């Protein structure tokens, strides 16, 4: 078999390999797109949870709420004038 025929026989194999690579790249692009969408949805959910938690913390540390909690749950009262010691 002449050498130039051997080269022409390799051409279909090279084309098949390139086509396979193209299919693989398309598949990877699709998978990365799905992963990106999932991560963006997770990021949005985490942002909403963070906002909710910040609101809850702001509500829990309100001075009025802390005063009410101290009086009702801890049986605390405001100090009388003679109870305060100044250095």
Range 47-63 average pLDDT = 97
Domain ranges for the chain: 43-77
Reduced to 3 states (helix: H, G, I; strand: E, B; else coil), residue 83 is helix
70 near 76, Cβ under 8 Å?
Answer: yes
| Residue pLDDT, tens place only, 65-82 | 999 999 999 999 988 888
Is-contact 65 59, C-beta < 8 A? Answer: yes
- Angstrom distance (rounded) from CA 45 to CA 79: 45
Strand ranges in 1-87 using DSSP code E only, listed in sequence order: none
pTM tops 0.75: no
Q: Given pLDDT bands bounded at 50, 70 and 90, which one contains residue 35?
A: very high
**Residue 1 scores a pLDDT above 80:** no
Rounded CA separation 23/16 (Å): 11
């Amino acid at each position: 078999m002449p050498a130039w025929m051997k080269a022409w026989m390799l051409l279909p194999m090279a084309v098949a390999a390139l086509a396979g690579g193209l299919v693989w790249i398309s598949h990877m692009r699709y998978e990365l797109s799905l992963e990106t969408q999932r991560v963006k949805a997770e990021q949005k959910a985490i942002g909403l949870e963070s906002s909710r938690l910040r609101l809850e913390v702001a509500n829990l540390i309100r001075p009025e709420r802390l005063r009410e909690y101290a009086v009702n749950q801890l049986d605390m009262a405001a100090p009388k004038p003679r109870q305060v010691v100044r250095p």
